Structure 1
Amino acid sequence: MTAIATTKTDRLLEGIRAGREMTRWQQLELLVRLSLPAMLAQIASIVMNYIDASMVGHLGANASASIGLVSTSVWLFAGLCNAVSMGFSVQVAHLIGANDEEGARSVLRQALVATFVFSVVEGLLGILVSPYLSVWLGGGAAIRGDSATYFAIFSLVIPILQLDILASAMLRCSGNVKFPSILNAVMCLFDVIFNFFFIYPTRTVSLLGFDFSMPGMGLGVPGAALGTAAAEILTAIIMVYYMLAHSRQLSIWNKGFGELRRFIPTSRVLSRAWKVGLPMAMQHVAMCSAQILTTMIVAPLGVFAISANSFGVTAESLCYMPGYGISDAATTLVGQSIGAARKSLARRFAFISVAFGVCIMTLMGILMYVCAPLMMAVFTPVQEIIDLGVAALRIEAFAEPMFAASIVAYGCCVGAGDTLIPAFMNLASMWGVRLTLAFTLTSVFDMGLTGVWTAMAIELTFRGIIFLLRLWKSKTFRE
């Protein structure tokens, strides 16, 4: 039985499933209603990450570099969790679009088991490689110990992170973007609070003319990892409970969990998840491997360059995270439209989403160019790091419009279940353009960190262009 629509967003989504005609204004309104919570959550997440990075940054350049060295590896492992989740959540979007909510719940049950097993294996792998990772990445002896500890703690909580990612993706694809967006933003607040106590030692704090003792564990970089782990555990508990007990389309709590065999993944569901998730996983491995190679290109440039590169990536995320929020909304809208057998509507949603994303990220790019010195000063008081980071951000600002096009267009393709060709496009762009240019500009022309970020800006512009061409010529959205 279809759940009763209770909000205007629900009613607009119900219009997709019911086959009602939608004006362009209604399509734009629905896109904004789904995008806005995700965008605000992404921005809140980045603001909190700014504070988080600033906490570590004030411990010194070595502390910053120890986390920056393994940050791309953290993205690699977290991205694999996301790819596995999307293999199942895209199926849920299609089933809900076809008004088959019981089928969506069946996929959810199987996804809980399949993704958890995957995450346990991945977490064990991360723990095993953590002592060697910083050495492989070319980190100096002064930062290897903290890097290894940070990555080991992250790996330990990967199964919990997987549950949070799965529940968040399932809720978004069901049309509920607001709750996971708000909760993920709150998770960042949890992260900062926990870090405040884990990173710093007990100290005297002055507030409004009063001095008082603030307790702390003084764990430094390992404390940052523990703070993030604690925040992820708390968030995952809330997210999974909400999905199982309160989601209109996905709740299985009140309906009974059913027999244990209903949780055993079937070949049909696994094959569909494999078709969508495997190209995403392969793409993510290859692209993160490219980012890790980029880190290895940066590492010989010194601690200041490593720190500036890491902080620059965090600073830039303020610009591109809204694009990922719009991409999430586009995945939901395109996925439900495809499930409802309305390919022309899916195509209209795709182009409206891309245009909206380009406009938002163009404005964010202008903001980043103007505010680059202030953004870098948030992270560190070291002037050499600030100067390198400002130069990098101002180069990258010019690539933001086409970066938006690639982000949102890829989200549209994921919603349609079209992940294989886009995966190869991302790989060709990253490996054929970015890495080649980065190596050439740093090794041959001796441009240092500026060369790495120039290569990045050129590659992102190229990637946006080819994704626009893919979206325009794709047969996926044609009736």
Structure 2
Amino acid sequence: MTGNRKLIKEIILLIIPAIIEYSFQALVNYADFIMVGKLGIESSATIGITNEVTFLIKAGVNALGVGVLAYMAREIGAGNRKYLKNATLHAYFLALIMGVFTTAFPLLISPYLPTLLGADEIIRKPASMYFSICSSMGVFFSFNVTAGSIRKADKDMKTPLLVNGFMNILNVVLNWFLIYPDKAFNLFGIEVNIRRCNLGVIGAAYGTAIATLIGGILMVVLNERHMDTSVKGMNGILESLLQTEGKDIVRKYVFVGLPAFLTSVVTSFGRVIFTAMIVPLGTAIYAAHSIAFTAESAFFIPAVGMASAVASLSGNVRGEGDIKKLNKQTHLVCGIIVIIMLMATSILLLCADDIIAFFTEDKIALTKAPRLLRIVAINEPMFGISIVLQNVFNGIGKTKIPLLVSGFTQWFVRVLGVFVFVHILGYGIEIAWICMISDNILRAILLYVWYWCDNKRLMA
């Protein structure tokens, strides 16, 4: 019992800052959505329409983060700290390559993307500009994720928490000055006029870009303060990059990261197709979908936020080679996330109307979106389990398993389901959301079954 309490304490001390840190990451997007949403339904659709493509493009960076975290957590768990400097150098090198791609590619496709997604003509130009400006800091986003993964592998959840917390505060402040027109108010009988830029959606994009730039720089600077994972003082950096040992590190990053990348591509591209099939239902319906999706995503913050902590814990245990500890740890984390997500289910069922009213005043959205939230509410505990198990597999380096499971459920349940029921049989947005939650529920079941059926070979 004492051992269980110690493990529970260790898990909680890691997952709480991890959840808060992801909350801050997510709030950067929510801040844009909420603050721009006050301008009207078309502004909400302008931001929402390119979101899934943004996730798809960032998949490579996030997969690199998975590879870095899994490798470093395993080395730290095994006590091999002497290799961490070299591992950090190669992580930075790959972060630069991925960052250049995640900057250049969006800039190339941004003029055409809203049209390809079927956006109404009135929102095509602002959506294109929003997408390109937000994507312009891809290099800094890449370094933020990579340096953050290094810190998390060493069970340091506080540094990413502080950086992303600061980014969020900065983004909100910048949005307030960049989105809206001048504001006059009375201060102790004196009329004060604050000059603001009145840039609307484009102002939100600039705020996000500036916050991303500063966040990337800060994360690297703070990581460099830890001598084990700092590249300061390394001699012959170019030689280190070309050494056999360095190539082996890159190979391990790619071995773990490539299936994670393909998982993100498969699922993100599936969500892009899912989005593209909803857009033709009309701007008002799509905006209601986008608002409901953004509102609901706030409730899966605990599950996604725990992901890095779960991966770090699992990677450390893989380094120790203790399957019993891994099983106990996985059980405990699944139990914790089910309890948390049941609370989310209750809130979504009881408060759906009030939640949507926080995001918009549009009458169609206020009618449609709460229905969608109540549909998705039953999915929350199973979604939490699927995220936990995916990151257990990622942490121990078994990233091919989530790829196979996610690919199957995403395309054969969500995408094919929407195509058949919405576009062929003519059902509405509600059926599309039922297909979406069916994907999540089946994914959780398959990952859970695979974990226990293949349990003896997980440490191989």
- Normalised to the residue count of structure 2, the TM-score between the two structures is 0.94
Q: How far 1:344 moved relative to its partner?
A: 2.3
Equivalent residue number for residue 80 of structure 1: 60
Tell me how far apart the structure 1 counterparts of residues 216 and 317 of structure 2 sit (CA, whole Å): 29
1:459 paired to 2:432: no
1:222 paired to 2:202: yes
45 and 279 in structure 1: CA distance in 2 versus 1, 3 angstrom threshold: closer
Tell me how far apart the structure 2 counterparts of residues 23 and 70 of structure 1 sit (CA, whole Å): 47
CA contact (8 A) 1:334 1:347 kept: no
- The correspondence of residues 55-454 of structure 1 with structure 2, limited to 5 A, is 55-205=35-185, 211-245=191-225, 247=226, 249-253=228-232, 256-261=233-238, 264=241, 266-454=246-434
CA contact (8 A) 2:376 2:437 kept: yes
97 and 200 in structure 1: CA distance in 2 versus 1, 3 angstrom threshold: same
Equivalent residue number for residue 12 of structure 1: none
67 and 38 in structure 1: CA distance in 2 versus 1, 3 angstrom threshold: same
CA contact (8 A) 1:347 1:477 kept: no
Tell me how far apart the structure 2 counterparts of residues 434 and 463 of structure 1 sit (CA, whole Å): 11
CA contact (8 A) 1:327 1:408 kept: yes
Tell me how far apart the structure 2 counterparts of residues 120 and 52 of structure 1 sit (CA, whole Å): 24
Tell me how far apart the structure 2 counterparts of residues 89 and 208 of structure 1 sit (CA, whole Å): 53
Tell me how far apart the structure 2 counterparts of residues 316 and 209 of structure 1 sit (CA, whole Å): 43
SS of the residue 2:183 aligns to: strand
- 1:92-122 residue CA offsets vs partner (Å, 9 max, x unmatched): 1111111111212211111101221122023
CA contact (8 A) 2:23 2:305 kept: no
CA contact (8 A) 1:70 1:151 kept: yes
Tell me how far apart the structure 1 counterparts of residues 283 and 191 of structure 2 sit (CA, whole Å): 36
Q: How far 1:214 moved relative to its partner?
A: 2.1
Tell me how far apart the structure 2 counterparts of residues 96 and 342 of structure 1 sit (CA, whole Å): 14
47 and 268 in structure 1: CA distance in 2 versus 1, 3 angstrom threshold: closer
The amino acid that maps onto 2:345 is G
Tell me how far apart the structure 2 counterparts of residues 251 and 188 of structure 1 sit (CA, whole Å): 26
Equivalent residue number for residue 8 of structure 1: none
Q: How far 1:445 moved relative to its partner?
A: 4.1
Specify every segment of 5 or more residues in structure 2 that has no aligned partner in the other structure, as ranges: none
SS of the residue 1:23 aligns to: helix
- Normalised to the residue count of structure 1, the TM-score between the two structures is 0.91
CA contact (8 A) 2:348 2:377 kept: yes
Q: CA RMSD for the aligned pairs?
A: 2.0
Identity over aligned residues, as a percent? 27
CA contact (8 A) 1:91 1:104 kept: no
CA contact (8 A) 1:42 1:185 kept: no
The amino acid that maps onto 1:184 is N
Tell me how far apart the structure 2 counterparts of residues 113 and 207 of structure 1 sit (CA, whole Å): 52
Tell me how far apart the structure 2 counterparts of residues 173 and 375 of structure 1 sit (CA, whole Å): 35
The amino acid that maps onto 2:398 is D
CA contact (8 A) 1:50 1:379 kept: no
The amino acid that maps onto 1:33 is L
The amino acid that maps onto 1:419 is T
The amino acid that maps onto 2:74 is H
- 1:326-382 residue CA offsets vs partner (Å, 9 max, x unmatched): 222111111011112223212221222122112211211211221211111111111
Q: How far 1:432 moved relative to its partner?
A: 0.7
Aligned residues: 456
- 1:257-282 residue CA offsets vs partner (Å, 9 max, x unmatched): 33223552632112111111111111
